[in-house]
Amino acid sequence: MLRYSIIFFTTLSLVITLFFSSHCQGETGEKYKRSVKNYEVPDVTLINQEGAKVRLKSFLNSGKPVLVDFVFTTCTTICPVLSIGFSEFQKKLGPENAMVQLVSISIDPEHDTPKRMKEYLRRYDAKPGWDFLTGRKEDIDKVLKALDAYTPDKMSHLPLILLRSRSDNRWVRIYGLIGTRDLLREYQGVLP
């Protein structure tokens, strides 16, 4: 019985994944993969760029639309592109910017101290509403695993943005580096 239900649920989840995920040809010609996933954010306490403790679950459930990415301050390729993307996204949104919460979660928490994260945000001209979180490695790993963003080695991390409009578990997962126009379009697409 158990075996059948495992097979059933595996097939079901495969069908759902196939149904919801799609390859998108971005307006700028770059391809990215979009899917809709159910993720439960773990209730861990992280530290932001000011050194203040942040309870991740309630922080993400503030009611604002949220965009999450996973970066580290000494990262060479993917993170600068993701971060320039966030920076440009904030600029393009203009005044609406205050209505959206951007969250970068460090995947190198041992090195990324609040001081380094603050400096990183400054470099990318981050406006209020973009926070950078670090914390205990075990807690960060828990978050990465829950959001299907975990890789054992930080150098093989993923170009990933998770997007959610309401405080539920339904996330739009954008896999691949994405231009600002496409990101704005995806953002507007999740708004109620």
Partner 1 sequence: MKRFFQKASRDCGTILLPGILSLLLVFLLNDASATEDTLPLSVAGVSRQEALRLGERMYREGILPSGEPMLAVVQGDIPVDSRIFACVSCHQRSGMGSFEGTVFSPPVNGARLYKPWSKISDLSDSARKKLPRWMQTANFRPAYTDETLAVALRAGENPTGRKFKGVMPRYFLNDSDTEIMVFYLKNLSAESAPGVTATTMRLATVIAGDVSPEDREAMLAPLQFFVTTWGRSRSMELRARKTDDPMYTGYRKLILSVWELKGPPESWLRQLEEYYKKDPVFALLGGIAAGDWAPIHKFSEEHKIPTIFPVTDFPVTSETDWYTLYFSKGFHQEGEATAKYLRRAEISEGTSIVQVFRNNRAGLALSKGFQDTWRGFGQRPPENMMLDQESAVTENFLKELTVNRKNTVLLLWLDDKDLPAIGNLTQGQNGPRMVFVSSSLMGQGLYSLPEKVRSFVYITYPYRLPQEDKGFRAIVEAWLRNNKIPASNLTIESQMYDLVAVLSEPLSMLKSDFYRDYLLEQIDMMEDQSANIALYPHLSFGPGQRYASKGCYIVQLTEGARAKLVKRSEWVIH
Beta pairing class for 170-175 and 160-164: antiparallel
Shortest Å distance, C-beta 169 to partner 1: 26
Which of 55, 137, 145, 170 is in the footprint of partner 1 by CB under 8 A?
A: 137
Q: Interacting stretch for partner 1, rule CB under 8 A, among 1-9, 15-23, 55-63, 172-180?
A: 172-180
- DSSP secondary structure letter of residue 192: -
Q: How far is the CB of 14 from partner 1 (least distance, A)?
A: 23
Q: Does 115 bind partner 1 (CB under 8 A)?
A: yes
Contacts 24+ apart (CB under 8 A), 35-40: 35/172, 35/173, 35/175, 36/170, 36/171, 36/172, 36/173, 37/148, 37/170, 37/171, 37/173, 38/169, 38/170, 38/171, 39/146, 39/147, 39/148, 39/162, 39/169, 39/171, 40/146, 40/169
Asked whether position 77 contacts partner 1 by CB under 8 A, the answer is: yes
Report if residue 186 touches partner 1, rule: CB under 8 A.
no
Q: Does 28 bind partner 1 (CB under 8 A)?
A: yes
Residues that bind partner 1 (CB under 8 A): 26-30, 47, 51, 72, 74-78, 80-81, 84-85, 88, 108-111, 113-115, 123-124, 134-137, 151-159, 176-181
